[in-house]
């Protein structure tokens, strides 16, 4: 079956489509699609569809990019065809027709099992001379695993000097994540950590406090 036929498969939160082989001389192709969101109103919904051939990622559609991207010579060729045809327009509609439409009916059941993260803000390394201080924001004991951690300086998002680790399983169905910010404090400023998770309708914000 060609990769084009995979586009007829529907997405429901996360779905994998695998096509097996009857002998060692055959090939395997698969499509893995997922709908990612944090807010209850689904305003940050992202759909990602990965197309694999013999376990290698060859094409990806990400709704934030809005087109197909190829990762191999063959994948680039097919992605160009899909981007110049009706397949692209149809796939773009999946964010609403497949992701949002299905999640609206399933989100309440998932949200009932969601566990709000505990958030802690701590000083890992104090400033010394010309070296910046390092703050760590830790979110732990939360479920499901998808979470967003951001840093704010006086209410505005900080995008530089930030290091984060991916969600890590605790081994007891809960997850944790840590993010560090290297910064040089300025008089009167406030540094905050903002956590967004499906378990909370409101953003969780922890302030380090104003420097005087």
Does 121 score more than 90 pLDDT? yes
Q: Where are the alpha helices (DSSP H) in the chain?
A: 73-83, 86-94, 101-112
Among residues 143, 132, 142, the alpha carbon closest in space to that of 180 is found at: 132
The per-residue pLDDT for 61 is 97
pLDDT tens-digit series, residues 33-69: 888 887 778 888 999 999 998 889 999 999 999 999 9
Is pLDDT larger for residue 22 or for residue 174?
Answer: 174
Q: Smallest Cα–Cα separation from 68: which of 58, 81, 83, 53?
A: 83
Tell which residue, 148, 144, 140, has the closest CA to residue 113.
144
**Between 162 and 6, whose confidence is greater?**
162
- Mean of all residue pLDDT scores within the chain: 82
**What per-residue confidence (pLDDT) applies to 133?**
86
Looking up tokens 């036929």, which residue turns up?
5
Task: Give percent above pLDDT 70 in the chain.
Answer: 83
Distance CA 54, CA 94 (A): 26
Across the chain, which distance is largest between two alpha carbons, in Å?
71
User: Which domains are present in the chain?
Assistant: 3-112 (3.10.320.10), 118-210 (2.60.40.10)
Determine the pLDDT at residue 13: 46
Q: How many helical (H) and strand (E) elements, i.e. helices and strands, does the chain have?
A: 3, 14
Cα 54 to its chain centre, rounded Å, is 25
């Amino acid at each position: 079956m060609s990769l084009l036929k995979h586009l007829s498969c529907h997405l429901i939160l996360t779905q994998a489509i695998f096509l097996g082989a009857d002998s060692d001389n055959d090939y395997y192709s698969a499509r893995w699609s997922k709908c990612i969101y944090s807010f209850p109103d689904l305003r940050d919904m992202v759909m990602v569809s990965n197309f694999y051939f013999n376990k290698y990622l060859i094409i990806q559609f990400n709704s934030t990019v809005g087109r197909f991207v190829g990762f191999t010579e063959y994948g680039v060729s097919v992605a160009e065809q899909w981007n110049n045809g009706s397949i692209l327009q149809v796939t773009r509609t999946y964010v609403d027709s497949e992701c949002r439409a299905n999640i609206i009916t399933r989100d309440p059941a998932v949200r009932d099992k969601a566990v709000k993260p505990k958030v802690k803000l701590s000083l890992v390394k104090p400033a010394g001379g010309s070296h910046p201080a390092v703050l760590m924001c830790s979110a732990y004991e939360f479920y499901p695993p998808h979470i967003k951690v951001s840093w704010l300086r006086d209410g505005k998002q900080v995008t530089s000097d930030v290091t984060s680790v991916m969600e890590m399983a605790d081994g007891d169905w809960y997850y944790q994540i840590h993010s560090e910010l290297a910064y040089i404090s300025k008089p009167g400023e406030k540094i905050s950590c903002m956590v967004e998770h499906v378990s909370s309708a409101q953003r969780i914000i922890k302030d380090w406090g104003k420097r005087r």
